[in-house]
């Protein structure tokens, strides 16, 4: 008897699938992810754009991504580019990106979805997933926890973790992952990846904008 394929959402949060080839070949692909819009929109996901004012938000009045697949919306900072369904990897459902000064460095925010998770497990799952994604985006690198705290998104329990990261070539950056429970068997996340244009780190404005995007998240 053939076991049918599962059609349920992936376990949360997904780690991007390993790309073919050695880590250095994967680095070139990763730089392309941040520098150009090469992330996939999951088949069947609906994403559109709207403007919504949010009093008190640094991104109040900015256009927003509405990601029906993840069940989230989030603001788009000025100068960032929106993914309207380009070719991409399956771990994510929508994304926005920006390039750093003179085309060096840059940042991306990616959304995705997963199965339900108990509030008591949010801390452990978010920290584990953040480190797993750091290993993917920065192969053979190291990561250090800058921040790890409980939060809420649209009144729902959530957790956010920020990591500083560096690989064996000296490439440095920062990552933030926020995981939010959506009730029942659903959860969602936003992942921000910032690559510093300087070997010493200091992601600067892009890291602040990533934090503002994740802080702007709302459950749909």
Inter-residue contact 114 to 125 (CB < 8 Å): no
| Backbone torsions φ then ψ of 38, nearest 5 degrees | -125, 45
Tokens 């801390």 belong to residue: 123
Burial class (CB in 10 A: 0-12, 13-18, 19+), 89: middle
Whole-number pLDDT of residue 137: 81
Whole-number pLDDT of residue 157: 96
Tokens 């490439």 belong to residue: 171
Whole-number pLDDT of residue 1: 38
Inter-residue contact 92 to 50 (CB < 8 Å): no
Structure tokens at 8: 């349920």
Whole-number pLDDT of residue 45: 41
Whole-number pLDDT of residue 88: 56
Whole-number pLDDT of residue 153: 96
pLDDT, tens only, 57-83: 789 889 999 999 899 999 999 999 987
Q: To 10 degrees, the CA torsion angle through 110, 171, 201, 158? A: 30
Tokens 């070949």 belong to residue: 25
For residue 164, give the H/E element and its range. strand 156-166
CA distance 119 to 135: 25
Whole-number pLDDT of residue 159: 97
Query: What letter would DSSP give residue 38?
Result: -
Instruction: Name the residue among 199, 194, 24, 172 with its Cα closest to residue 99.
Output: 194
CA distance 179 to 189: 4
Whole-number pLDDT of residue 64: 94
Query: What letter would DSSP give residue 33?
Result: H
CA distance 47 to 110: 13
Neighbour tally for 148: CB within 10 Å: 14
Structure tokens at 212: 């503002």
CA distance 106 to 102: 10
* pLDDT, mean of each 10-residue run, the chain (220 residues): 33 50 47 34 40 65 92 94 67 86 81 90 93 85 94 96 88 92 90 74 76 94
């Amino acid at each position: 008897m053939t076991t049918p394929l599962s059609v349920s959402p992936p376990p949360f949060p997904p780690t991007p699938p390993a790309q073919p080839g050695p880590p250095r070949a994967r680095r070139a692909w990763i730089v392309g992810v941040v520098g150009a819009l090469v992330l996939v929109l999951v088949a069947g996901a609906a994403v559109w754009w709207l403007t919504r004012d949010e009093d008190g938000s640094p991104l109040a009045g900015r256009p927003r991504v509405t990601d029906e697949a993840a069940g989230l919306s989030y603001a788009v900072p000025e100068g960032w580019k929106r993914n309207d369904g380009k070719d991409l990897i399956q771990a994510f459902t929508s994304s926005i990106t920006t390039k750093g000064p003179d085309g060096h460095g840059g940042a991306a925010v990616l959304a995705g979805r997963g199965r339900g998770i108990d509030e008591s497990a949010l801390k452990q799952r978010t920290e584990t997933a953040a480190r797993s994604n750091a290993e993917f985006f920065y192969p053979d690198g190291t990561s250090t926890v800058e921040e790890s705290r409980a939060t809420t998104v649209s009144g729902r329990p959530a957790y956010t973790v920020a990591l500083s990261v560096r690989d064996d070539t000296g490439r440095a950056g920062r990552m933030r992952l926020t995981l939010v429970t959506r009730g029942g068997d659903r959860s969602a996340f936003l992942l921000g990846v910032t690559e510093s244009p300087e070997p010493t780190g200091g992601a600067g404005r892009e890291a602040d904008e990533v934090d503002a995007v994740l802080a702007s998240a709302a459950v749909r």
